[in-house]
Amino acid sequence: MKLKKMWRIMLSLCLGLWMISCQQEQTKLTSPDGKLSLEFVLDEEGTPRYCLKHDGKDILLPSRLGLVLKDAPNLLTGFTVKEIKHDSHNEVWQPVWGEEAEIVNHYNELKVCLAEKEALGRELDIVFRLFDDGMGFRYEFPRQEHLQEFLIDDEVTEFVFPSDCDAWSIPVEGVRFYEALFEKKPLSKMGWVSTPVTIETADSLYLAIHEANLTDYAAMNLKPVEQSGDSEAVTLRAALTPWSTGEKVRVADTRVSPWRTMIVAESAGDLLLSRLMLNLNEPCRMEDTSWIQPMRYIGIWWAYHMKHNTWHAGPEHGATTENTMRHIDFAAANNIGGVLVEGWNEDWATWKFSFTKPYADFDIQRITDYGHKKGVALIGHHETGGNVSNYESQMEEGFSFYERYGVHQVKTGYVGDLLDGKERHSSQFGVLHYRKVIEAAARHRICIDNHEPVIPTGLQRTYPNLMTQEGVRGQEWDAWDAGGGNPPSHTVVLPFTRGLAGPMDFTPATFRFVNDVMPKTRVHTTLAKQLALFVVLYSPLQMASDEIENYEANPEPFKFITSCPTDWSRTMVPEARIGSYVTVARRDKGEGCWYVGSITGDEGRTAVINLSFLDTDKKYLATIYRDAPEADYETCPASILMEEREVSSGDTLTIWQARSGGTAIRLCPLEE
């Protein structure tokens, strides 16, 4: 009898250990290529945690997950695993526009369904997806008796790094509209920072933390958590943007959080090739997208910054019928698709804008008729001043007004520290408003270029009429910044930081390096770098920012701008080092030409551009715009050379570049 009892005990122990082992196996996940591995665990207090490895090495140590609620018990501890589900997905999809003609969406998924062991027995699901280029996870809130509508006070989402690492970020506080220089500092020394946060690890991995599909939720920021003891680990925790009333998120109909994302790349250049964020957004919801057209454009805009014209009516008013038609003529003669006109509507003096009443000297019917005849689009402008209530009361009427005249692109603006004088742009209030605008614009067949936005999170996959956004310290700072303008290193950091979030309306291609209004403020690049930026900084609506007189004075360099597409079939990054240099190569969707932009930061260098991305069975004519030997962004910025040579995929171009200089190359197949 004793022997039988011992066997029963041993069998029970073995069964228990086997069940624990099975559950541990079930809560593990690997990427399709096997390099990334994730494990989910509940600690002894029933707290959800996850960890992440790359090739067996720790990227993230066990990191907490959970929610602090307002006026309700928290969803942090006391959980048990109710169910575990595994799934996988592999497809190729075609974006309406983008940096590739086709995108591979291949991931493995783990869904952990949690339930409280005691108390209210509430349920919380956490979904993880691993791609070859990184990770995404989100919370899902099943509707249930004790979790209907609720308020989130904090999201205890953590990223625990084994050791301190260098990272690039911008602060939340003291920065308007994300328009700041990214700073490099240890993770532990960051304050409350916006995402993306880009990280270089001691294992030569490059990481970027951000979010995808920001819908009916507050934007995620990050803060380092003060560590106790002698641990070398550094913890970053989510710090959501609050409402003016203090809470972070009001959960009602939308029962999921945005995806918390981390790109994992083995080189700095590979960061730029990740499409993880787009893959974590929903497919396109629009049946007809034929009216969505990527283009390069010019505008009645830089003249305002140079004080040559005014937004408001008067003797120097920029948005006149005659001036707009002059710009249309220039655009038509130079293969430019559109003309942006700011300052066209009434009440620029009071900022109580009307979106249907043009100034008397702006004949929109005559202008749009003339533009259609010339094949040039009028790009409209809605500046709100951050007065969301005023805008929403006129929005449908304003879009209908533009639709009547065949205007399919509108630049929106929110120059105001707080929306409606009280809410942050990246709060749930702001997120909801921006979505209303995108959806309303789509109903009227209008594309949006959103300035002073919430940072992009890949929504252009679902709503491809959201074509580009600002949310970046753009080239306009080179017109009026009291500090002198953007430093040389700025544009060799942006592709690896803000650029990872999505298309940005940086407005490159300024050709005049003298500022009569603020002589100590100017563009801190060479002319060749301005050309290269047209390729490096991606936007499907890409603005050539300068006044047309300055392009007329530089016709040969301007030919690169007039030939450069804004919609691509493939993108490559031959060389890159964050903050020092980057070379980006993109292939068009038509003739099979490649365009290369290569830029430097504070120091000159010799770029070594391997052309192995070219088709192996073709010869190409390379038209190269490069810094002349005497070029220097401070003393001789406009000095540029153009040359042509025959090349093939086996060639490597070795080209000297000045401080804050660059190279722009067009490579087109030669006929046999």
pLDDT in tens, 168-190: 999 999 999 999 999 999 999 99
Q: What was the pLDDT predicted at 3?
A: 46
State the DSSP code for 189.
G
The domain defined by 24-279 folds into Beta-galactosidase; Chain A, domain 5 (2.70.98)
> Over 70: is that where the pLDDT of 31 sits?
yes
> Over 70: is that where the pLDDT of 463 sits?
yes
Q: What was the pLDDT predicted at 25?
A: 62
* Three-class HEC string of 67-104: EEEECCCCECCCEEEEEEEEEEEEEEECCCCCCCCCEE
Write down the catalytic residue from 287, 476, 549, 643: 476
> Over 90: is that where the pLDDT of 7 sits?
no
Angle (CA) 161-163-166 rounded to 5° is 90
Q: Are 284 and 96 in contact (CB under 8 A)?
A: yes
Q: What was the pLDDT predicted at 553?
A: 97
528 contacts: CB under 8 Å, gap ≥ 6: 557, 625, 626, 627, 631, 640, 657, 658, 661, 662, 663, 664
Per-residue pLDDT tens over the stretch 277-306: 999 999 999 999 999 999 999 999 999 999
Has domain 477-541+558-672 been given CATH number 3.40.50.300? no
Q: What was the pLDDT predicted at 396?
A: 98
**pLDDT band for position 44 (cuts 50, 70, 90):** very high
Closest-CA residue to 74 (of 160, 158, 150): 150
> Over 50: is that where the pLDDT of 21 sits?
no
Q: Per-residue pLDDT averaged across 354-362, rounded?
A: 97
Please state, for a pLDDT cut of 90, what percent of the chain lies above it: 94
> Over 90: is that where the pLDDT of 22 sits?
no
DSSP β-bridge partners for residue 440: none
Q: How far apart are CA 607 and CA 592, in angstroms?
A: 24
Per-residue pLDDT tens over the stretch 63-112: 999 999 999 999 999 999 999 999 999 999 999 999 999 999 999 999 99
Q: What was the pLDDT predicted at 24?
A: 53
Per-residue pLDDT tens over the stretch 112-151: 999 999 879 999 999 999 999 999 999 999 999 999 999 9
Q: What is 359-375 written as a DSSP string?
A: -TT--HHHHHHHHHHHT
> Over 60: is that where the pLDDT of 467 sits?
yes
> Over 80: is that where the pLDDT of 228 sits?
no
Amino acid at 116: E
477-541+558-672 has the same fold as 24-279? no
Q: How far apart are CA 181 and CA 119, in angstroms?
A: 48
- Both tokens of 50, joined, read 């996850």
> Over 90: is that where the pLDDT of 598 sits?
yes
Domain segments of the chain: what residues? 24-279, 477-541+558-672
183 is catalytic: no
Q: What was the pLDDT predicted at 286?
A: 96
> Over 70: is that where the pLDDT of 263 sits?
yes
Unique residue bearing structure tokens 């979030």: 501
Closest-CA residue to 215 (of 249, 191, 243): 249
> Over 80: is that where the pLDDT of 453 sits?
yes
**pLDDT band for position 625 (cuts 50, 70, 90):** very high
Q: What was the pLDDT predicted at 349?
A: 87
Per-residue pLDDT tens over the stretch 490-548: 999 999 999 999 999 999 999 999 999 999 999 999 999 999 999 999 999 999 999 99
Q: What was the pLDDT predicted at 359?
A: 97
Per-residue pLDDT tens over the stretch 545-581: 999 999 999 999 999 999 999 999 999 999 999 999 9
69: alpha, beta or left, given left = phi > 0 and alpha = psi -120 to 50?
A: beta
Number of alpha carbons in the 13 Å side-chain half-sphere of residue 365: 2
State the DSSP code for 461.
G
The mean predicted confidence, pLDDT, of the chain is 95
